[in-house]
Amino acid sequence: MASIRKLKSGYRAEIARQGIRKSKVFPTRQEAKDWAARAEYEILNGDKIAAKLRLGELFDRYAREVSPGKRGHRWEVIRLEKLCRDAISQIRLEDLTAKDFAAWRDKRLGEVAPASVIREMQLMSSVLNVARREWELISANPLSDVRKPTKPQPRDRLPTAGEVEAMRFSAGEDLTKATARAFHAFLFALESAMRAGEIAGLEWDRVDLERRVARLTHTKNGRAREVPLSSEAVRLLQALPPLDPVFGLSSRQLDALFRKLRDRAGVVGLTFHDSRHAAITALSRKLDVLALARMVGHTDLRQLRVYYNESAEELAKRLD
């Protein structure tokens, strides 16, 4: 039953139904009574109400309540907004089945690469799991029964010395120019194995040139880490003009400028992130696997296999 209590700040409505207790304070008694009536109805008819919800309403709620607490929330929100415009978002939860998601998967595979479909399926599955575990709107996640597309083979693209020189010429040497700093960031990535977002977010108060350490507070896995810097990495930092953040570029600027100078240099198929592959492959010759994992921020040693790209010919030379 609902009870309304007078407080100095207003009226507290309290309800207790089916083992569920809720309370809230309102400025007027009528508002408190109205809320209590709605809350009791929702508890008693929760399954019926939830069943009438559309999948898109879950996407919208997740974008508002869950995504903002995540690193990379901007990508999630944009992706969820796009999913809300898809026909699958109009299906009611009571009608939603694994067959609907399988049909969506097959249609989406005709539009984007399998890796993109996998990421979107993982995001939708996260939404459905929260709806099941925390919001108690569904009893099962129908997407868990749907086969994901086959993962593509990991990239093994490494920059050649000739490509690096061509991009150096394309970018120019004047580090007061943003394009030159974008290439400078690529060279720094080749030395440090840091990701583009980590480099763009690096600030001077987290760089100790004497100790040769850069402290990263915002990383992909959410764990802060200290990155040891080679003497060449220190030299690259010292050559920069006084800017804060260190490279004076946002992640978006860094990505756009790198693509521009790469294309101008006639380099095909190379991404900024390929610098991480090259760096980890080079560092594997200097560090043991545990030290390497700590430097690059991998908690699962198996992840290093995705980035380690030393050729069989190079390994053969090391055997002698």
Q: Which CATH class is domain 54-145?
A: mainly alpha
Tens digits of residue pLDDT in 168-221: 999 999 999 999 999 999 999 999 989 898 999 999 999 999 999 999 886 666
Domain ranges of the chain: 3-44, 54-145, 161-315
CATH number (1.10.443.10, 3.40.50.1370, 3.40.50.2300, 1.10.10.1100) of 161-315 reads 1.10.443.10
Tell me: the pLDDT tens digits for 225-237? 888 999 999 999 9
Q: Is the pLDDT of residue 47 over 60?
A: no
State residue 243's pLDDT score.
92
Per-residue pLDDT tens digits for 241-271:
999 899 999 989 999 999 999 999 999 989 9
Mean of pLDDT over the chain = 85
- For the segment 156-174, the average pLDDT, to the nearest whole number, is 92
Q: Can you tell me the mean pLDDT for 274-281?
A: 88
Rounded distance between C-alpha atoms, residue 249 and residue 192, angstroms: 18
Task: Please give the average per-residue pLDDT across 137-163, as a whole number.
Answer: 85
Give the C-alpha separation, 95 to 87, whole Å: 13
Residue percentage of the chain with pLDDT more than 90: 47
- Asked if the model's pLDDT at residue 222 lies above 70, the reply is no
- Catalytic positions, please? 195, 220, 298, 308
